[in-house]
A and B are shown apart, each in its own frame.
Chain A
Amino acid sequence: MALVEVKDIFKNYFLNKTSLEVLKGINLKINQGEFLVISGPSGSGKTTLLNIMGCMDKPSSGEVFIDGQKTINMTSDELADVRAQKIGFVFQNFNLFPVLSVIENVEYSLLFKPWSSIEKRKKAQEALSMVGLSEFARHKPLELSGGQQQRVAIARAIVREPLFVLADEPTANLDHKTGEGIIALMKKRNQQHKTTFIFSTHDQKIIDQADRVVKIWDGEIQL
């Protein structure tokens, strides 16, 4: 069984009464442990597809299965639960909470886990240690560099031990060298823990590391 499966997905947006078809019948299966890149130019629909697979958006038609579970008819609260339990997110702009410390940011991801606060703190420390930021645990995100902030975001994504991590342009706001470090970190996690990573990017460095590249052009997968 595929970890994520999308079947015949269409997505339309309406702008000033004009319908804009962003996805046009996408079919895709992603298996456990893949390091997969969805690639394509700006406006091709890759982020929309990522959002649908991340249960943050619903398709206009078609079906989505996460770990065998059909999500298309779920309520917003049920989708929130799926995101909380099964998906990790890494964003282009890091999206850390500036008022929380680094370790609290990581801990926030465990908000919905039925663990004690001591356990949660321990898990968060381990995740920070894995991304090499243990000594910055008490710092505020804005005291860190862009690369360090993205590492915190990765720690926040993996700490909850998700089925897969969705990363939308994770290196877009980083310099070349820092970007390489971030990719290496995720690749290592993928290899060591078989964590599935799904990227939306046109960064060649990530594409080079991918097990599989799915190219999207004008809302359709290019075969």
Chain B
Amino acid sequence: MILKLAIRNIFRHRARSLITISTIVFGCVAIIFIGGFFEDVFLQLREGFIEAHTGHIQVYKEGFTQKGRVEPFNYLIDNSQEMISLIRQLPEVDYVTPRIQFSGLLSTGDNTVSFVGQGVDPQYEKSLSKDVGEDLRKAYKEGVKEGVTTLKIGQGLDSHDEYGVILGEGLAASIDAKVNSSVTLLTNTVDGSTNAIDTKVKGVFYTSSKSFDDIFLRMPLKTAQKLLNTESVQSLVIKLHHTDDTQEVRNTLKFLFKKRHFNFEIKTWDELAEFYTQTVGLFKKFYLIMRIIVCVVIVLSIFNTMNMSVMERISEIGTIMALGTRSKGVVLLFLYEGIGLGAIGGAMGVVLGCVVVQTISCVGIIMPPPPGANVGWLSHPMIVPRILLSTFVFSIFIGGISAFYPAYRASRLVITDALRYR
């Protein structure tokens, strides 16, 4: 009966309840939309890093991450084929590709700059994506298959074209290199001597990271090995079908390596993509602050409504208590009303939030390049069930919290004073 009384009271002053519910709905829509937008940012950023730079997991020789920057060639993997065969057996793995990274000088004859080169397997590390946003969305749903190192001009690497290289956009611009330009790569081999090869620019690429594009070039692994005078590789980059499997595969690999007494380091994409981790951390802080602001607005709105409700119903509260309702019952009555307002507003907010996010997502939001990048992107805010559920629960909780003080105040009224109140 108290619940029934509470529900009827919610609709007692329809205009006032409507305004309060509208505030809750607006707050919920804002939380759902911003949350969906940030989730899309996280997804695009994450998959961008995985595809263009890190893969899901990288395997190095033990000690590489500690000392590999200074002595990279002291931590080469000699038995890479055995390792690759072992890793490929895992069903979660899409493919494994070896890499070797080195630095040197790049010259067109007229201009010379330093570079960082990556020897990669062209078969797996293609440069295909033309529409980053759409491909990532597809990739997220179907499992990542294609790279997001986007070719600006020219062609990608080809395993049949041993001496074709692709340059990052900034690197190509710094030496004024064009497609089909001849460039010479000069570097130290693994044994410390100097070696150089003549290559041809097949294409120019860009990624989501401007700093990467300014210094990196990519070339076929075999050519890099020839240049460095080695048959070893530096790392194995593992791509999975689904990003969510990363930790599971990491644990399996750890177990397999231990069993075979392999001394290797296993790093996951989130340990390697520091920029991603920092960006996510920053955005999550923004989101938290926004939620707090929305929470305060909703609390004040419900609190105001409930407080007015108590003031208007003092005599009624007196009657309820005179009829034998304990203080707890009075508290419950107003708590139910606050929770009811929160639940109605939350439910409507979730439905409207889905409609708004879906509508905006269909159109997309054109975003400028993020800091450190040179390409803009198209954001498609996502409907995230976790956010919908938490927003609904949050609005109910806030409803209860906001109503608590007015409810407590009502329960402390003196019956005889309340009955006399007009």
Contacts and interface: CB of A to CB of B under 8 A. Distances in A.
Contacts of B321: 56, 80
B317 to A, nearest CB: 11
A156 B326 CA distance: 18
B207 to A, nearest CB: 63
Interface stretch (A2-10, A37-45, A99-107, A174-182): A99-107
A32 interface: no
Contacts of B12: 98-99
B168 to A, nearest CB: 70
Interface in B158-189: none
Sorted nearest first, the 10 A-B pairs with minimum C-beta distance are: A84-B324, A99-B8, A95-B319, A83-B324, A56-B415, A80-B326, A77-B326, A57-B416, A51-B416, A111-B1
21 contacts: A51-B416, A54-B322, A56-B321, A56-B419, A76-B327, A77-B326, A80-B321, A80-B324, A81-B326, A82-B324, A84-B323, A85-B324, A89-B322, A95-B316, A95-B322, A99-B12, A100-B8, A107-B1, A111-B324, A111-B325, A156-B323
Give the contact-size bracket for chain B. Answer: 20 to 34
Interface residues of A, number: 28
Contacts of B319: 91, 95, 97
B90 interface: no
Q: Taking chain B's interface residues, is the majority helix, strand, or loop, or is none over half, making it mixed? A: helix
A108 interface: yes
B358 interface: no
B5 A99 contact: yes
Interface in B370-421: 415-416, 419
B153 interface: no
B419 A91 contact: yes
B230 interface: no
Contacts of A104: 1, 4
Interface string B1-44: 11011001101100000000000000000000000000000000
A98 B12 CA distance: 9
A148 interface: no
B5 A97 contact: yes
B209 interface: no
A14 interface: no
